[in-house]
Amino acid sequence: MPSIPQAHRSNPLIDAETTLVGAIAHGALRPAPKKFVSGEVVRLNTKLDAAARFTLVASHSNHTAAVTVDLQLAPLLKDGATGSFVSAVKVSLPAEGGRVEAYLSGHDINIATADLSRVQWPCICFAKALVTPSTPADLHVGLTATIPA
């Protein structure tokens, strides 16, 4: 079998978006559509403190007021419980709508002091997005993680 030239090999990074707030369609692994709401805890497939970089993406088309999205992250503790949520980044969107992206490094993630002795690194695998003052009908908040393969 011939080798694949370097220029035609796939990108060795994983970059997929996880929805934290908003609707997702049904598919092979989800038999029915689902709508994630503000503050709903999502377990991530990629542990963010192992990621080289991750991105919070928020967008909506129109609302009655400006919207703030607070991304909060928590570790998986050694006993299988969820640790304390800590704010990682906040973004604001104007009432007129738009799209905002916030880039973060996995090395910049903090965890609560009380959880430090109760984790095994990498451990950040829970996320939630808190939306204030209210959630626009078409708000979508997603999180991507890019890790070396």
pLDDT score of 15 more than 70: no
Percent of the chain's residues with pLDDT above 90 = 60
Angle at 73 between CA 72 and CA 74, to 5 degrees: 135
Note the pLDDT tens digit of each residue in 52-89: 888 999 999 999 999 999 999 999 999 999 999 999 99
Percent of the chain surpassing pLDDT 70: 85
| d(C-alpha 32, C-alpha 94), whole Å | 32
CA Rg, the chain, in Å? Answer: 17
Query: What integer pLDDT is reported at residue 8 of this predicted model?
Result: 42
- How many residues are recorded in the chain? 149
Its pTM stands at 0.84
Q: Is the pLDDT of residue 146 over 80?
A: no
Please say if the pLDDT value at position 14 is more than 70. no
- Label residue 131 exposed, middle or buried (CB < 10 Å: 0-12, 13-18, 19+): buried
The DSSP output letter for 47 is: -
Query: For all residues of the chain together, what is the average pLDDT?
Result: 86
